[in-house]
A and B are shown apart, each in its own frame.
Chain A
Amino acid sequence: MGTVFHLDIVSAEESIYSGPVEFVVAPAQMGEIGVYPRHTPLLTRIKSGMVRIKAQLKEEELVYVSGGMLEVQPDVVTILADTAVRSHDLDETKAIEAKKAAEEALKNRESDIDYAKAQAELMEAMAQLAAIDKLRKRKH
């Protein structure tokens, strides 16, 4: 590898950037870091912010990422972008929400059963009505 290296920016939902670049600047957790070719292998978290990409013979490009991981290999650099805004507390509340949803839904199971029962009764009543209707028509 000479003056360029391969950069991939991917998120779980799509591939954001892929191609050879001259250098890239990412907002790492410990401060912005710039990566040129032949950078030492590195793995770090990145914060939400702008990633600056400079490809050969091209204007600088800016890509927003909402956090993620930056991986530097000898000739490939990968940014694994998050699709959601994350923090430890935020994840925690989400986990609690998912738990609560399950608990509540289980508690409300009774009402679900009631609903199913009511529906079954309604179907029966409707069938009876239809039968009565038919009988009536036959009489006339």
Chain B
Amino acid sequence: MAGSREIRNKIKSVKNTQKITRAMEMVAASKMRKAQDRMKKARPYGEKIRNVAAHMSGANTEYRHPFLIERDTVKRVGIIVVTSDKGLCGGLNTNVLRKALNQMKIWQSEGEQIEVCCIGNKGFGFMSRINATVISQVVGLGDTPDMAKLIGAVKVMLDGYTQDHFDRVFIYYNRFINTMKQEPVMEQLLPLTNERIHGDKKEDDTSRVTWDYLYEPEAKPVIDDLMIRYIEALVYQAVTENMASEQSARMVAMKAASDNAGNVIDELTLIYNKSRQAAITKELSEIVGGAAAV
């Protein structure tokens, strides 16, 4: 019975681990539902503000917002990386960071400078480890993304764009497809592309806008405000999607961990029983052998 106590201890510790992973799985499952709700709730705002922006970009000719103007030379790129604050969610953060890193390498080889805005602890840790220039960050968002917390970090990027510090701004996050599938995506935030504003529908001449808004007090400040809010809404949506992705990825990862723990326990129990059986057989044969000798 040499290793039996060790095996029993091992089984006990794996069982404890399994308890933890199972609890985390259930917590993630309930948080996931809420995160998905929030993601859905954020959509109408994004839709509405996009419609207004689309309309305006088609109608207003006297003032074109800098966010809409494509620049020819690209020397500096700003990226916003949305990650989770906590780990234990499978390959979620790794995937999005790998995507960002690959693109960053390409840009660097083209001689472009990159500055990073990090939303979420994991991304920040990674970016500072690879010595990227992090110019703003938000960490510790918790379970409810707060628009107020994002404003500052996003403004740094927007200011950088309007002051010609960046020529393009991209955002990286995990798009929520379904509970089992999340996809790391890169999207161009600035300058706003036509497809982005107008969605998928083809722009034909009949849908061309014929009326313009009355702007109060003036066109410029109103449009400026609207554009900033539009970008913020896009970032906010990315954050809510990422959070929904995070919770579902965590749930799946924890479920896999619990299942694995179950397998390990089964295997160890089998080994434990075998060794016990072997010990009993040995003892028996010794007794029989002893009796035969007498």
Real complex partners, A and B? yes
C-alpha spacing A73/B139, complex, angstroms: 39
Contact of B216 with A30 in the complex, beta carbons under 8 Å: yes
C-alpha spacing A101/B150, complex, angstroms: 13
**B-contact 0/1 string along A104-123, CB 8 Å cutoff:** 01100100100000000000
Interface residues of B (CB under 8 A from A): 38, 41-42, 44-46, 48-49, 52, 55-56, 117-118, 124-125, 128, 134-139, 146-148, 151-153, 155-156, 159, 211-217, 221-222, 225-226, 229, 232-233, 236
Contacts of A109 in B (CB 8 A): 128
Contact (A44, B222) CB under 8 Å given A29-B216, A95-B159:
yes
C-alpha spacing A12/B44, complex, angstroms: 8
Closest residue of chain A to B221, judged by CB?
A: A45
- Nearest CB of chain B from residue A37's CB, rounded to whole Å: 16
Chain A, interface size category, equals 35 or more
Contact of B216 with A42 in the complex, beta carbons under 8 Å: yes
A interface SS class: mixed
Q: Which 4 A-B pairs have the closest CB atoms?
A: A94-B152, A84-B148, A98-B152, A44-B216
Partner of A12, one of B42, B136, B156: B42
Contact of A69 with B226 in the complex, beta carbons under 8 Å: yes
C-alpha spacing A131/B118, complex, angstroms: 42
C-alpha spacing A8/B55, complex, angstroms: 17
Closest residue of chain B to A73, judged by CB?
A: B55
Contact (A83, B148) CB under 8 Å given A41-B212, A45-B221, A102-B136:
yes
A62 CB within 8 Å of chain B: no
Contacts of A8 in B (CB 8 A): 44, 48
Contacts of B221 in A (CB 8 A): 45
Contact of A41 with B147 in the complex, beta carbons under 8 Å: no
Partner of A95, one of B148, B156, B214: B156
Sampled A-B contacts (29; CB under 8 Å) = A11-B45, A12-B42, A13-B42, A13-B147, A15-B41, A29-B216, A41-B211, A41-B212, A41-B214, A43-B52, A43-B213, A43-B215, A44-B216, A45-B221, A80-B45, A82-B147, A82-B229, A83-B147, A84-B148, A84-B151, A85-B148, A86-B151, A92-B155, A94-B148, A95-B136, A95-B153, A102-B136, A105-B139, A106-B128
Contact of B136 with A80 in the complex, beta carbons under 8 Å: no
Closest residue of chain B to A69, judged by CB?
A: B226
C-alpha spacing A33/B146, complex, angstroms: 30
Contact of B45 with A95 in the complex, beta carbons under 8 Å: no
Contacts of B136 in A (CB 8 A): 95, 98-99, 101-102
- Nearest CB of chain B from residue A87's CB, rounded to whole Å: 11
Contact (A10, B48) CB under 8 Å given A29-B217, A102-B118:
yes
A97 CB within 8 Å of chain B: yes
C-alpha spacing A71/B226, complex, angstroms: 10
C-alpha spacing A11/B47, complex, angstroms: 11
Contact of B216 with A80 in the complex, beta carbons under 8 Å: no
Contacts of B229 in A (CB 8 A): 68-69, 80, 82
- Nearest CB of chain A from residue B85's CB, rounded to whole Å: 13
Partner of B151, one of A11, A78, A91: A91
C-alpha spacing A122/B21, complex, angstroms: 25
Contacts of A40 in B (CB 8 A): 214
Closest residue of chain A to B46, judged by CB?
A: A12
C-alpha spacing A56/B128, complex, angstroms: 58
Contacts of B117 in A (CB 8 A): 98
Partner of B222, one of A43, A72, A97, A98: A43
